[in-house]
């Protein structure tokens, strides 16, 4: 279980990546309600919502250092 | 200088119209419309698939592509005429996106032989993997990485607004292959199937979702996506063009994709719908077409649409003559979406509050298409390169201004 770097809510990484369907082209689909993630400096960070991720995108260093 | 169509071109237009009259029903247009059902792939319902087969058999798909790759070796104006007629009927026959023109310009012979015929037959479709959460208008800031490992590349990262990722067979991806290079260098383009292990698609719903937009809506996409890549391993033959030279390939593809009818076509149906509605409706014996204020707005809108059309014709003419196409597509990409915003605002003023009702309302006008167009017009200013980015390209490529940068802050004394 990860914590959202922005709001500190727990995010289930496995659930966020768990396959819930497949596109006609064969790609894995996931449940958008289970959170999202961002690839930052070689590491995946998990968020409970797009809103939190948007905040993180604007100031990643601030959230990772705890200064934001 | 002759702006008229030739007798052959007029005959082709009549032939296409007749074909549409005989083959395209409202039910079929609804099935072929990718926004009418978010779960159904583009044009893959049984009726739509049969229609596209018939259109292909007529030689009306991929008209401008060489015959050796399954096209017709035809000219852009012929393609424009065919696309314009099908757009009026709510049927999209474009190859969709910058994949095909980029492959023609930068692909290997093997890539051309594989992809172009399949794109024309609609057996292959690309989604565009360019934008990232922190790399949109500043696309060269992208961080999705492709690391060489023997004969493969391993891709990790994510893309935003991969609009057709849930319907496409392949992705046209821009990724960073050299982290130490200047940001416009060290970027490469890759083409690979969406069923490659490690690809995940997560839906993002737009303002056109619930209810989905009706057929004929300009930019009615109800769904876009974010797409994740976890150790996605692809063969080196998936590289399009040279490694680390992808910025030029991607820019060229986007620019070439803007040549042709698409910028004008997004206006055609919307503009004609309102003209026809004004002509064909009467209220207590009074036609809106007789109202001086409405006539004024309609005439203004038509003039703007003709500017849009002429810009499109100019772009096609430049490319047909083998001329240098630099800023013209960007100029179209500013004019057409902003024309759309002005038109949809004018329609709302002309027809009043009922134009704001979506298709789920019993009182919606024309299945809510005018209301959905208001939302779509704003989307079209952002999609596929925002109007702000396009203006910057006009300034740099057309007017030869230097690249923009912020002025230095002046400390107050």
Q: What is the pLDDT, as a whole number, of residue B413?
A: 65
- Helix, strand and coil content of chain A, in percent to the nearest 5, comes to 35, 30, 35
| pLDDT of res. B42 | 45
Which chain A residue has its CA at the smallest distance from B38's CA? A23
A15 touches chain B (CB under 8 A): no
Closest approach of B136 to chain A, Cα-based (Å): 12
Give the global pTM.
Answer: 0.89
Domains defined for chain B, CATH in brackets? 7-94 (1.10.540.10), 126-242 (2.40.110.10), 258-398 (1.20.140.10)
Q: What is the pLDDT of residue B38?
A: 47
Among the listed residues B21, B11, B98, B94, the one whose alpha carbon sits nearest the alpha carbon of residue B266: B94
Nearest to A1 by CA among A48, A53, A40, A49: A48
- Please state, in angstroms and rounded to a whole number, the distance separating the CA atoms of residues B119 and B40: 19
Determine the Cα–Cα distance for residues B46 and B106; give it in Å rounded to an integer: 34
CB distance B69 to B113 below 8 Å: yes
Distinct helix (H) and strand (E) counts, chain B = 12, 8
B244 near B174, Cβ under 8 Å?
no
Crossing angle (nearest 10°) for helices B262-280 and B369-380 = 150
Distances (CA, A) of B128 to B132, B173, B227, B333, B355: 11, 6, 10, 18, 33
Q: Which residues contact A62 (CB under 8 A, 6 or more apart)?
A: A68
Q: If contacts are CB pairs under 8 Å, which of residues 81-140 in chain B contact chain A? A: 125, 133-134
What pLDDT was estimated at residue B1? Answer: 67
Q: What pLDDT, on the 0 to 100 scale, is given for residue B200?
A: 97
Q: Cβ–Cβ contacts within 10 Å for residue B398, how many?
A: 13
A49 touches chain B (CB under 8 A): no
Residue numbers of chain B with a pLDDT score lower than 70: 1, 34-44, 96, 258-263, 412-413
- The backbone torsions φ and ψ at residue B364, rounded to the nearest 5 degrees and listed phi first, read -65, 145
Per the listing, tokens 């790759």 go with: B69
Contact A22, A13 (CB under 8 A): no
Of B324, B404, B329, B378, the closest CA to residue B137 belongs to B404
pLDDT score at B35: 58
User: Does B166 contact A at CB distance below 8 Å?
Assistant: yes
**Does the beta-carbon distance from A26 to B143 stay under 8 Å?**
no
Q: What is the pLDDT of residue B351?
A: 85
Are residues A39 and B144, on separate chains, in Cβ contact within 8 Å? yes
Considering only CA atoms, give the Rg of chain A: 13
Instruction: State residue B256 phi and psi, 5-degree precision.
Output: -65, -35
Q: Do A27 and B194 touch (CB under 8 A)?
A: yes
Query: Quick one: pLDDT at residue B33?
Result: 72
User: How high is the ipTM of this complex?
Assistant: 0.90
C-alpha to C-alpha distance for A17 and B201, rounded to whole angstroms: 10
Nearest to B308 by CA among B371, B244, B376, B258: B258
Q: In the prediction, which pLDDT does B34 show?
A: 62
Asked if A57 is an interface residue toward chain B (Cβ–Cβ < 8 A), one would say: yes
Helix (H, G, I), strand (E, B) or coil at B129: strand
For chains A and B, CB pairs below 8 A equal 68
Cα separation, A13 vs A35, in Å, equals 8
């Amino acid at each position: 279980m990860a914590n959202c770097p922005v709001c500190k809510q727990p995010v289930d990484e496995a659930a966020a990546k768990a396959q819930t369907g497949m596109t006609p082209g064969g790609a894995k689909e996931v449940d958008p309600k289970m959170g999202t993630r961002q690839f930052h400096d070689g590491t995946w960070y998990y968020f409970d919502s797009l809103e939190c991720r948007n905040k993180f995108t604007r100031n990643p260093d601030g959230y990772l250092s705890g200064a934001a | 200088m002759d702006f008229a169509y030739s007798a052959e071109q007029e005959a082709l237009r009549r032939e296409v119209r007749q074909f549409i009259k005989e083959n395209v029903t409202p039910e079929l247009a609804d099935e072929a419309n990718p926004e009418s059902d978010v779960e159904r792939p583009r044009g893959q319902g049984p009726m739509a698939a049969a229609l596209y087969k018939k259109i292909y058999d007529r030689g009306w798909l991929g008209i401008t592509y060489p015959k050796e790759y399954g096209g017709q070796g035809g000219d852009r104006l012929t393609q424009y005429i065919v696309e314009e007629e099908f757009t009026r009927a709510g049927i999209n026959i474009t190859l969709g996106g910058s994949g095909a023109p980029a492959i023609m310009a930068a692909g290997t012979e093997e890539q051309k032989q594989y992809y172009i015929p399949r794109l024309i037959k609609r057996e292959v479709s690309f989604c565009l993997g360019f934008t990232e959460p922190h790399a949109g208008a500043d696309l060269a800031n992208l961080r999705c990485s492709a690391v060489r490992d023997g004969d493969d590349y391993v891709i990790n990262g994510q893309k935003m607004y991969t609009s057709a990722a849930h319907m496409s067979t392949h992705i046209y991806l821009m990724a960073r292959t050299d982290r130490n290079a200047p940001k416009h260098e060290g970027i490469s383009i890759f083409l690979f199937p969406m069923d490659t292990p490690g690809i995940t698609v997560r839906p993002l719903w737009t303002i056109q979702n619930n209810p989905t937009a009706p057929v004929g809506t300009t930019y009615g996409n109800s769904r876009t996506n974010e797409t994740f890549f976890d150790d996605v391993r692809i063969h080196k033959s998936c590289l399009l063009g040279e490694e680390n030279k992808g910025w030029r390939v991607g820019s060229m593809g986007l620019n070439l994709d803007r040549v042709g009818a698409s910028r004008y076509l997004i206006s055609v149906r919307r503009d004609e719908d309102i003209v026809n509605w004004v002509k064909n409706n009467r209220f207590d014996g009074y036609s809106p077409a007789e109202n001086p204020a409405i006539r004024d707005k309609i005439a203004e809108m038509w003039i703007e649409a003709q500017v849009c059309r002429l810009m499109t014709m100019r772009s096609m003419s430049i490319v047909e003559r083998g001329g240098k196409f630099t800023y013209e597509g960007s100029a179209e990409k500013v004019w057409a979406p902003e024309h759309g915003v002005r038109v949809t605002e004018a329609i709302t003023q002309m027809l009043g509050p009922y134009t704001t009702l979506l298709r789920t309302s019993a009182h919606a006008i024309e299945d809510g298409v005018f209301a959905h167009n208001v939302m779509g017009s704003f989307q079209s200013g952002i999609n596929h390169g925002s109007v702000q980015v396009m203006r910057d390209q006009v300034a740099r490529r057309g007017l030869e201004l230097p690249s923009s940068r912020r002025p230095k802050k002046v400390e107050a004394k």
